[in-house]
Amino acid sequence: MEECPQTRALVAPAETLLCLAAQGWGVFVKKLVLVGAGHAHAFVLEAFAERPDAGIELTLISDRPKAAYSGCVPAWLAGECPLEEAQIDIATLCERAGARLIVEPAVAVDGANRHVILAGGEKINFDIASLNVGSTLERPAQQSDSPPYLLAMRPLNELQRRWQDLLETVQAWPGGTERRVLGVGGGAAGCETLMSVLAQLRSQRPDITWRGTLMSAGKQPLPGAGHLPRALIKRALKQADVTWQGNSRGKALVEGAVRDHQGRQHPADIVLWATGAVGHRWLAASDLPLDKNGFIKVENTLAVSGMPRLFAAGDCTAFDPPLPNAGVYAVRMGPPLAENLRRACHGQALKPWQPPRRVLALIGTGDGRAIASRGSIGFSGRWVWRWKKRIDARFIARFNRPF
């Protein structure tokens, strides 16, 4: 153990700070607590791994030591990659960053008293905290004792168990039958999920005839996208033998079907629910400013509105103007969040973040192809899928490299 500065002149700056703090010399170490292992927090951990800060004590709270990367989920659902290749090793990343990892769910944040409450009742104090906990879905009402099998696509950390349960259920179904898979939600996630799941089911149970339907409140899939990307996704859905059902908002599960907002029933054996994103219920038990959907209101610095010691990023936030619930925005928020958390810990001015006007969406179609969509521009083909897989693999490798 090295001596302190009083007895030895040459000591590394980080060691000096820690030694002075331990002796009560007035050097204060700030407690920075990250709640959730979302994409933005992966960048925060990486930033502290690359540039350690002896004035900051870093803690990450997550309900599991690995986190699914949303960009790889469709490939995993389609059976094109194992789950391990779709996950970020949060435990190893914490080691690289010198961060303490607490594997336990958070159930509340007390901003006024500056602590996070864990499921076991323990309180974790903080000086600065950040939330990157993703979102969940408002599930349909269940109005039958024998509804279709429901696979909710969020929260992501529960998808592995739900998907495995569904595959085991399907294995027990008799062959020579026809089964209907109904996707609810016409955005990129809803389209991609349905085609990926159908590809896996058809591969595992070719003795069953699988029919797909995509149901959405919108008139067309990919609302907000340009004409060409929408035309490409329509063609992909048709090639996947998926019927489009627009102007139908899913409301409830009934026997063998989904009932929409007009009372019509849409037959289904399996329902993939990918719509109605809302904030986690436990956020409402906190003293955070939330919008009508339960998302945390943030400023353009990613600080929580009216609570400068708290920050939030990703799908759990309500940005002004609103951003789509897409993982690409959490990725873009990561580096500026890391910088502003460091600045907040040192009492420095925060920097505003400007979200990109357009982002690139790469949408897998479950058949070894993908669609690239950016504004009105669209491309499709096997090369787009290979491109997407390379991008996703590099992203995962970036955070999973050994240290």
Task: Say if residues 86 and 69 touch (Cβ distance below 8 Å).
Answer: yes
Homologous superfamily of domain range 28-136+278-345: FAD/NAD(P)-binding domain (3.50.50.60)
Confidence band of 227 (pLDDT split at 50, 70, 90)? very high
For the chain, percent of residues with pLDDT exceeding 90? 77
Beta strands 30-35 and 128-131 are parallel
pLDDT (0 to 100) of residue 27? 55
Sheet holding 106-110: strands in order across? 106-110, 115-118, 123-125
Q: Which of 95, 116, 92 is nearest to 104 (CA)?
A: 116
Burial of 298 (0-12, 13-18, 19+ CB in 10 A): buried
Q: Taking the domain 137-274+360-400, which CATH number applies?
A: 3.50.50.60
pLDDT (0 to 100) of residue 330? 87
**Per-residue pLDDT at 218 exceeds 80:** yes
Q: pLDDT tens across 268-280, in order?
A: 999 999 998 999 9
Strand locations in 207-329 (E): 209-215, 242-245, 250-254, 257-260, 265-267, 270-273, 277-278, 296-297, 303-304, 307-312, 317-318
Average pLDDT (40-51) is 97
**Per-residue pLDDT at 10 exceeds 80:** no
Q: What does the alpha-carbon distance between residue 306 and residue 388 come to, in Å, rounded to a whole number?
A: 39
Q: At what angle do helices 39-50 and 90-97 cross, to 10 degrees?
A: 30
Task: Say if residues 274 and 260 touch (Cβ distance below 8 Å).
Answer: no
**Residues paired with 312 in a beta bridge:** 131
Confidence band of 403 (pLDDT split at 50, 70, 90)? low
Q: Do domains 28-136+278-345 and 137-274+360-400 have the same CATH topology?
A: yes
Instruction: Average the pLDDT over each of 205-214, 301-310, 317-326, 339-348 and give the range with the smallest value.
Output: 317-326
**Per-residue pLDDT at 71 exceeds 70:** yes
Domain boundaries, the chain: 28-136+278-345, 137-274+360-400
Q: pLDDT tens across 354-381, in order?
A: 998 888 899 999 999 999 998 889 999 9
Tokens in use for 366?
A: 């479950």
Q: How many CB atoms lie within 10 A of CB 330?
A: 25
Q: What does the alpha-carbon distance between residue 226 and residue 60 come to, in Å, rounded to a whole number?
A: 39
Average pLDDT (339-366) is 94
Tokens in use for 36?
A: 């959730």
Average pLDDT (299-326) is 92
Sheet holding 257-260: strands in order across? 141-142, 250-254, 257-260, 265-267
Q: pLDDT tens across 76-122, in order?
A: 999 888 888 899 999 999 999 999 999 999 999 999 999 999 999 99
Average pLDDT (318-334) is 86
